[in-house]
Amino acid sequence: MISFYKIKPKFQQLVKPLLNMFYKAGFTANGITWMAILLSFTIGILFWYFPNGHMLWIFPIALLLRMTLNALDGMMAKTYNMTSKAGEILNELGDVVSDAVLYLPLVKLAGVNFRWVLLFIFLSMLNEYIGVLTKAATGTRRYDGPMGKSDRAFVLGLTCLLFYFFPTIYAAFDYIFLGMSVLLLLSSAIRIKNGLTQAES
């Protein structure tokens, strides 16, 4: 199944020079996680009050920065032996809360049915929860299926960027959220199936 998660190792190689820079500057893995959360809240609040205009191209850039920070905190933890249970909880909880804060302002975009956005956010949270739940049952965090965290960021970032340059495409927003929701349901089903198979093996 196509997913940006499969190219994660290549992305990590791209940002590796930043890892050394952050480490030399005294940052910890949890500190980088907090940076990602703070960035998400800042952009989410700004987007809520300024849902159109320049925020439509700032939003994709913020998603890319957050993706970079999310990659760096895990790399930092593994490379410099900073892994901890507290860090794992912070990372998982931070991802879910950050997603909700970032994507909720999309309800204010012109032509968007807020119900589809709320459904998408709920299914995103459910999808991440299933991934964490399988780790509790099997010891392995599941990332299977389409519309993972990075996939969602890419699709919505690109959509907002296109909307900035071509405002008339607003009519497609509902179909985009509906399509992502269907893929999230598929992803959740795949994670449950693979998790159960692993638990029974």
Q: Find the CATH number of the domain harbouring 135.
A: 1.20.120.1760
184 or 5, higher pLDDT? 184
Q: Is residue 152 a contact partner of residue 67, using CB atoms and an 8 Å limit?
A: no
d(CA 32, CA 25): 12
Nearest to 106 by CA among 151, 156, 40, 65: 156
pTM metric for this prediction: 0.91
Q: Running DSSP on this structure, what letter comes out for residue 3?
A: -
Whether residue 24 contacts residue 78, with contact meaning beta carbons closer than 8 Å, is answered with no
CB neighbours of residue 101 within 10 Å: 19
Residue 122 has pLDDT above 90, yes or no: yes
CA-closest candidate to residue 3, choices 150, 189, 141, 179: 150
Number of alpha carbons in the 13 Å side-chain half-sphere of residue 53: 6
Q: Cβ distance 22 to 79 under 8 Å?
A: no
The answer to whether 51 touches 117, Cβ cutoff 8 Å, is no
Average pLDDT rounded to a whole number, residues 136-150: 88
Region 62-79 average pLDDT: 93
Structural domain boundaries enclosing 116: 4-200
Q: What is the pLDDT of residue 13?
A: 87
Note whether 93 and 30 are within 8 A (CB): no
Structure confidence at residue 175 (pLDDT): 93
> What is d(CA 10, CA 157) in angstroms, rounded to the nearest whole number?
20
| Predicted pLDDT of residue 145 | 87
Q: Which residue has the higher pLDDT, 94 or 2?
A: 94
pLDDT band at 111 (very low <50, low <70, confident <90, very high): confident
Using 50, 70 and 90 to split pLDDT, how confident is the model at 8? confident
Q: How many folded domains does the chain comprise?
A: 1
The model's confidence at residue 130, banded by pLDDT at 50, 70 and 90, is very high
Confidence (pLDDT) at 169? 82
Report, as an integer, the average pLDDT of 67-81. Answer: 92
Distances in whole angstroms, Cα of residue 134 to Cα of each of 13, 91, 149, 189 = 28, 16, 17, 12
pLDDT bucket at 99, cuts 50 / 70 / 90 = very high
According to the model, what pLDDT value does residue 1 have?
A: 53
Q: Which residue type sits at 122?
A: F
pLDDT in tens, 45-61: 999 999 888 899 999 99
Banded model confidence at residue 75, pLDDT cuts 50, 70, 90: very high
Average pLDDT value for the chain: 91
